[in-house]
Amino acid sequence: MSDCLFCKIAAGDIPSGKVYEDDDVYAFKDIHPKAPTHVLVIPRQHIATLADCHDPALLGTLMDRARMIADDILQLAAGYRIVINVRDGGGQEVFHLHVHILGSKKLPF
């Protein structure tokens, strides 16, 4: 989508701290990290929110890549948190589906 911030980041039109990319997803460092490690994983396809996604294969790929990035690339061996904020009430500010990976400190719940 032409006016979507995360579509522009995935396309390379807006600079980001890239962590990983493939044909399906793009991962980059959050600009305002809420933990020492804070990475966002997004599908290349524009989907506004988790609630708008009815594609189990896409969701499976997104979650599998988040796991791979956290374990193999970021090497968060002590553990990490995966978060998806959904719509305003869930704290979502950017309306392109994204998975937060948070780690490198003990996270209170």
Q: Does 31 bind ligand 5GP (CB under 6 A)?
A: yes
Backbone angles phi and psi of 100, in degrees to 5: -90, 135
As to burial, measured by CB atoms within 10 angstroms (0-12 exposed, 13-18 middle, 19+ buried), residue 39 is buried
Q: DSSP assignment, residue 25?
A: E
Look up 98 and say whether it is catalytic.
Answer: yes
Is residue 19 part of the contact set for ligand 5GP (CB under 6 A)? Answer: no
How would DSSP label each residue in 41-58? Answer: EEESS----GGG---HHH
Q: Does 28 bind ligand 5GP (CB under 6 A)?
A: yes
Q: Which is nearer to ligand 5GP, 31 or 51 (CB)?
A: 31
> Would you give the end-to-end CA distance of the chain in angstroms?
34
Name the residue type at position 43.
P
Site for Zn ion in 43-102 (CB under 5 A): 46, 96
What x-and-dash track marks residues 72-101 binding ligand 5GP by CB under 6 A? -------------x-----xxxx-------
**Residue with Cβ nearer ligand 5GP (37 or 92):** 92
Interacting residue ranges for Zn ion, rule: CB under 5 A: 1, 4, 6-7, 46, 96
